[in-house]
Amino acid sequence: MSFRFTPEARERLLAAATHQRRSQANLLEWLLEDYCRRAGLEKAPRTKLRRESEGVR
């Protein structure tokens, strides 16, 4: 998966990740989980691809 960011958004992402002592990818995942939790959205069901990436068959 890839994303395009404006230079300003990229700088803000790097600053926020550094402040949180997280990688940029981990910060994006954390932000998404936080948003979903606050919005009352359930976690996505485990797909075959997700199970295999986690080592579960």
Closest CA to 41 of 49, 51, 32, 50: 32
Closest CA to 17 of 4, 7, 3, 31: 31
Is the pTM above the cut of 0.75?
Answer: no
List the chain domain ranges.
Answer: 7-53
44 CB-near residues (< 8 Å, 6+ apart): 50
Are 24 and 14 a contacting pair, CB within 8 Å?
yes
Predicted confidence (pLDDT) per residue in 1-43, tens digit: 898 999 999 999 999 999 999 999 999 999 999 998 898 887 6
User: Distance between CA atoms of 37 and 42, rounded to whole angstroms?
Assistant: 7
